[in-house]
Structure 1
């Protein structure tokens, strides 16, 4: 399953209302570490499609949601379950670390 782009307008329906756990990747075009982890997230979205939906939120284009989530560093990864954030991981991480973090928190 491909990574889903979420916006201020779709965050509620795609993330908060989801029956399945959702990872939100808070990123920006100018953030090089964000671009560095993108291929890992693409791979994990396919490998773990049965367990979690992986989404991307461009913080520059969706400032209301980013501020509501208190995003302070990029990239910031957040896992939502039952409509609420349950885990956060800041900074670029290797794919294996991201996968382990997801498995511990879903």
Structure 2
């Protein structure tokens, strides 16, 4: 079983970053696409543009903003999500009270 978590401090960071709707869409797309072992989403900007039905120039602007704010970094095969914001674990059960 895999589970993902956002670091609590990330919520304040997300709130204060002044991201637009496109920036959030791309960031969450990358989070959803990332490999669990290394936080890397092996996607190209063209694929993001096609999957989200967004103009390539808008994708490029959002990617630049996300990199500038250190939400992501460019890798050889895509983008790595900052593990201080979001990470995924395998095999541990999460027990939630009241659920």
TM-score with structure 1 setting the length: 0.28
Which is bigger in relative contact order (C-alpha 8 A, separation at least 6)?
2
Greater helix percent: which structure? 2
Greater strand percent: which structure? 1
Larger Rg: 2
TM-score with structure 2 setting the length: 0.29
